[in-house]
Structure 1
Amino acid sequence: MVISNKFYESQVINGKEKIINYIPLQYQETEQDVRVACLKYGGKYDSKANQLASLLSSSVSLELEEMIEYTNSVMYIFPKSAEKRLTWEDTLQTAKLTISEKVGWQFGSPPHVLLAGSTKSGKTVMIENLVAQYLHLGSEIRLLDPKKGELSWVVGKKLEDRLGYKVVYNSPFQIAGALREAVEEMNRRFQVMADNPDTYISKGKVLSWADVKGNYPLVIVLDEGIAFKTEAETTKEGKQAYQEAMSNLGSLLVKSRQASIEVIVGLQRASSDFIPTYMRQNFGTALLLGSTTADSDSCRMMFSSQDIDYKTCDIGIGYIQIDGVIPNPKYVEVPFKSDELDFEKYFDKACDFYWSMRNNDGLSD
């Protein structure tokens, strides 16, 4: 690769060609993977260090799993065997929020999920699966669905029947009200925590709301944010409701982690038309699915790293970045929902976990 792409400089000395400068690479192979590090010494080839994904992948005949940038090097990791794709059923077997065998995170570490993908990307299916996973942790759920789609009529109706409280919010005024109530609940929790320092401070550390027995997370899901904006802006009152809602959404993104309140926002495209830059920076997890990965603007809006050779992806496949867990966008296949899955029974099981958590009065290990 170095020779064929002329990543070196040479001179003819005494009639012989001598290499005087080259791109420095280190190679390591284990039973699990192949790792190639491109070292940076402040030289001519430093700018190439994070641009070698496709070339290295072709050279080792393996798919790139992850690229990690360090101060003095860039590490490329190529697994020798493909990661097993999880099913929806698998995701109710763990206390982590799980996307794949190797990709997951603990509740609140980090908070908030931004999920984007065009029609037929698998975005809504992934949101439904995340709802089940949050139920598994005992979380209260609010579904804000301005398009009144499957999330409302299939998942939402099921949850309202099983959980016994209002879950679905459709109109701009209902959505604005749900976000207002979430901010009020956040502030209430903060006040309870401030009034009870002996309970919420342990070993010099301030606990999160759900760290204390008897307390549970609250998860707000807003799908199709652009549809919310479009409908709200048809009237003066709707515009006011939208402005209030966006202000409250911003407050939740910035402040709600300690109160164990999380937000999931689903969009067809991570456009600043709905999510301003300052808001996008407060989503700990960003997941882009489907053919949208071919859109460089969408990738730029979703991810902080632009030095990735993004592939055009199929349904349920894309890239994910998680603060503190996966620093650079990583190719991922999200949990698979089979045609044989009994949807009703699956969400019954998730609701059973919810009630089991409540009856046992605390988060399970």
Structure 2
Amino acid sequence: MKQLIKQLQMRRNQKFKTVRPNLHIPVIYSSIISKSFYFIFAILILTTILSFRENFLSSIVGIFFISIFWFIFRFWKKCQQAYLNGINYNLQYMIVSNKFYESQVINGIEQITNHLVLKYRETEQNIEIYAMKYGDKYNDLASKIGSLLSSSLSLDLGEMTETINQVTYIFPKFAENRLTWEDTLQTAKLTISEKVGWQFGSPPHVLLAGSTKSGKTVMIENLVAQYLRLGSEVKLLDPKKGELSWLVGKKLEDRLGYKVVYNSPFQIAGALREAVEEMNRRFQVMADNPDAYISKGKVLSWAEVNGNYPLVIVLDEGIAFKTEAETTKEGKQAYQEAMSNLGSLLVKSRQASIEVIVGLQRASSDFIPTYMRQNFGTALLLGSTTADLDSCRMMFSSQDVDYKTCGIGTGYIQIDGVIPQPRYVETPFKSDELDFEEYFDKACDCYWSIRNNDGLSD
């Protein structure tokens, strides 16, 4: 029975409701009603006590009525609390307290004549708010109330999407369970959290920024393992010669049997040159074999054809690459060539199943020009850098987000075609108990299983 009532209640909540703000919200009178209840309750108690000595039966009746009155009062308080905590009241209060309305005095009473129109519904997982756009004075306001709605509902904004006639705000009612590194080797797509992920190539390329101690390098290492799980060839361009080279790169070279790590400016430039040559080679193979790469009127990408595999280029700390390269004339030339090839990969390599991951402390134009940033399908900003509005502006196309300062391993992500507005995310957690060697052994086993197509490792 309880389950049936719950289902009926949820079905009722899932219907769209329109908020109709009232200047005379009942909460104003709740204090008066409460005092009246207490006054009547006190009189009943006093009357019962006085009649106890004279008529015992009357006292029993008095106690009975006091009990009923008390239950009625408690029920009223419970309903009042439910109303005050309800979605409708909170949205009404937001509209009225922020004066998102116009009013006129009609028959001596001030009445609302126009207001910001909000609709809402509640599902099992989310609360959805729809700010309607009717071309009136509140049209532009509809896309700027995310922070106010979040405060009104006491929930973090999960997603915001805007169309020509409405802005949709989705607030998850329950926090996502944070994934672990081990979890990310169990999924068929590239995964950041329970609800955030994307298929390889849809979209291509990842721009990852974050200051020192933001969790950026840890996230890159995890992405490398996820790409290996897909059978991707990996090249690590690490001008800092840091843990990406020594902890991950050397391990992969031992297991995969080819050169993975590139450190010097000339090595990095050479790796990017080879990647462009590989891209062009793949395009030529595809052009020479149209029957294999065209299916049902669609041109397949390189990795969609059986026997072909992706290539992933990871460049960590691009500024370090630029700084070291510009110390010599030859280094400057290598840097210019590398940036030209990087631009070519970002623009053209999707069909060839070649992806680029770039890690930076700050996504400034000092290393990544604006035209290049626009070609990264996934943008992830981690750590305290989210408090820097300039960094957020450079990373994300949307500025209608109330960014909060994040800690290690948390930040904001935007994915073309998947998450159109930046949303808060917690990246996969790397436990201190994680056996790093064993973890990458598993990732390499997945790599060889796909490559050999028979479940065997090397």
| TM-score normalised to structure 2 length | 0.78
Aligned-pair RMSD on alpha carbons?
Answer: 1.0
SS of equivalent residue, structure 1 residue 278: helix
Listed one character per residue, the Cα deviations across residues 283-311 of structure 1 (whole Å, up to 9, x for unaligned) are 00000001100110010000000000001
Match of 1:9 among 102, 119, 123: 102
Give the drift of 1:142: 0.2
Matched, 1:57 2:150: yes
Give the drift of 1:182: 0.2
Alignment partner, residue 90 of structure 1: 183
Give the drift of 1:55: 1.3
Check conservation: 1:213, 1:361, Cα contact below 8 A.
no
Matching of residues 1-365 of structure 1 within 5 Å: 1-360=94-453
Give the drift of 1:13: 2.7
Moved more, 28-37 or 246-255: 28-37
d(CA) in 2 for partners of 1:129, 1:161? 18
Give the drift of 1:79: 1.0
* Structure 1 segments unaligned to the other structure (5+ residues): none
Give the drift of 1:202: 1.3
Q: Which protein shows a greater Rg?
A: 2
The higher-RCO structure (CA 8 Å, 6+ apart) is: 1
d(CA) in 1 for partners of 2:290, 2:135? 51
Moved over 6 A (4+): none
Return the structure number with greater helix share. 2
Give the drift of 1:14: 3.0
One-letter code aligned to 2:99: K
SS of equivalent residue, structure 1 residue 266: strand
Listed one character per residue, the Cα deviations across residues 205-238 of structure 1 (whole Å, up to 9, x for unaligned) are 1111111111110000000000000100011100
Q: Does the C-alpha gap of structure 1 residues 198 and 361 become closer, same or farther in structure 2, counting only changes over 3 Å?
A: farther
* Structure 2 segments unaligned to the other structure (5+ residues): 1-93
d(CA) in 1 for partners of 2:448, 2:396? 36
d(CA) in 1 for partners of 2:150, 2:397? 23
Give the drift of 1:95: 1.4
| TM-score normalised to structure 1 length | 0.98
Check conservation: 1:117, 1:289, Cα contact below 8 A.
yes
One-letter code aligned to 1:14: N
Q: How many pairs does the alignment contain?
A: 362
d(CA) in 2 for partners of 1:79, 1:54? 15
Give the drift of 1:361: 7.2
d(CA) in 2 for partners of 1:177, 1:361? 34
SS of equivalent residue, structure 1 residue 304: coil
Give the drift of 1:31: 1.8
Listed one character per residue, the Cα deviations across residues 319-342 of structure 1 (whole Å, up to 9, x for unaligned) are 111111111101110100000100
Give the drift of 1:46: 1.4
d(CA) in 2 for partners of 1:162, 1:301? 38
